[in-house]
Amino acid sequence: MSEGNGFGRRKRVTFRTADGKLLHLSSKQAYFTNPADSTVQIGPTVLDGTRTDTSQVRNLHVAYSGNYDLILRDFIDAVIVQRLSSQGGELIVARSSRADLQGLVLWRGPHHEVASWLPPVAEAEGIDPIERFEGLRFLDSPEGLVIRAAGPDLYVRPLETVTDIDGVGTLYLYGADQALAKVPTWAGHGVGVGELWRSTTRNSEASAERTLFTVATPTVVATLAPAPDQDAPFTDQLRFIDSLDGLSMAGSA
Amino acid sequence: MTIDFASLPILDEAPKKQSRKSTVRREIVARHFSRRTMFKALFVGATAVSLTTLDMVSRATGAYAATNWGDCPNWINRPDVTPDWTNCNPDGSSAGRIGSGYCGSDNFHRIGSISDGGGYYTQYQQRDYSCTGKNAWAWRPNGVGPFPEPWAKRCSDGRVRYGSPSGVSSWVNSTCRYAL
d(Cα B46, Cα A43) in Å, to the nearest integer? 12
Q: Residue A201 in 3-state DSSP?
A: strand
Return the minimum-mean-pLDDT range out of A114-128, A135-149, B67-81, B141-155.
B67-81
The alpha carbon of residue B18 is apart from the nearest alpha carbon of chain A, in Å, by 9
Q: Does residue B38 register a pLDDT over 80?
A: no
- pLDDT (tens digit per residue) in A113-172: 999 888 777 776 777 888 889 999 999 999 999 999 988 999 999 988 999 999 999 999
In single-letter form, the type of residue at position A248 comes to: S
Q: What is the pTM of this model?
A: 0.84
Of these ranges, A22-26, A229-233, B148-152, the one predicted with the greatest mean pLDDT is A22-26
Chains A and B: how many Cβ contacts under 8 Å?
267
Option in B9, B57, B78 nearest A197 (CB)? B9
Between the two ends of chain B, the Cα-to-Cα distance in Å is 45
Between the two ends of chain A, the Cα-to-Cα distance in Å is 17
pLDDT score recorded for residue B134:
57
pLDDT score recorded for residue B146:
67
- pLDDT (tens digit per residue) in A24-68: 999 999 999 999 999 898 888 887 766 656 567 788 999 999 989
Option in B6, B9, B136 nearest A188 (CB)? B9
In single-letter form, the type of residue at position A133 comes to: F
pLDDT score recorded for residue B45:
43
On whether any CB of chain A is under 8 Å from the CB of B150, the answer is: no
pLDDT band per the 50, 70, 90 thresholds, residue B65: very low
d(Cα B142, Cα B133) in Å, to the nearest integer? 25
Q: Residue A57 in 3-state DSSP?
A: coil
Residues of A in contact with B19 (CB under 8 A): 186-187
d(Cα A141, Cα A89) in Å, to the nearest integer? 12
The alpha carbon of residue B142 is apart from the nearest alpha carbon of chain A, in Å, by 15
On whether any CB of chain A is under 8 Å from the CB of B173, the answer is: yes
Option in A59, A183, A223 nearest B93 (CB)? A59
* DSSP codes of every residue in A125-145: TT--GGGGGTTEEEEEETTEE
In three-state form (DSSP H/G/I as H, E/B as E, the rest C), the secondary structure along chain B is: CCCCHHHCCECCCCCCCCCCECHHHHHHHHHHCCHHHHHHHHHCCCHHHHHHHHHHHHHHCCCCCCCCCCCCCEEECCCCCCHHHHHCCCCCCCCEEEEHHHECCCCCECCEEEEEECCEEEEEEECCCCECCECEEEEECCCCCCCCCCCCEEEEEEEEEEEECCEECCCEEEEEEEEC
pLDDT score recorded for residue A3:
39
pLDDT score recorded for residue B49:
37
Q: Does residue B44 register a pLDDT over 80?
A: no
Instruction: Supply the ipTM of this predicted assembly.
Output: 0.87
At residue A194's C-alpha, the angle toward residues A191 and A198, to 5°, is 70
pLDDT band per the 50, 70, 90 thresholds, residue B101: confident
Q: Residue A102 in 3-state DSSP?
A: coil
Q: Residue A46 in 3-state DSSP?
A: coil
Residues of A in contact with B102 (CB under 8 A): none
Cα radius of gyration rounded to whole Å, chain B: 21
CB contact under 8 A, A198 and B136: no
Residue A20: Cβ within 10 Å count: 16
**Directed axis angle between helix B35-43 and helix B47-60, to 10°?**
150
Option in A54, A68, A155 nearest B91 (CB)? A54
Residues of B in contact with A247 (CB under 8 A): none
Residues of B in contact with A152 (CB under 8 A): 45
d(Cα A176, Cα A36) in Å, to the nearest integer? 18
Q: Residue A228 in 3-state DSSP?
A: coil
The alpha carbon of residue B80 is apart from the nearest alpha carbon of chain A, in Å, by 6
Asked if A242 contacts B2 with a C-beta cutoff of 8 angstroms, the reply is: yes
CB contact under 8 A, A45 and B47: yes
Express as a percent the part of chain B with pLDDT over 70. Answer: 59
Option in B10, B95, B125 nearest A170 (CB)? B125
pLDDT score recorded for residue A50:
67
pLDDT band per the 50, 70, 90 thresholds, residue B19: confident
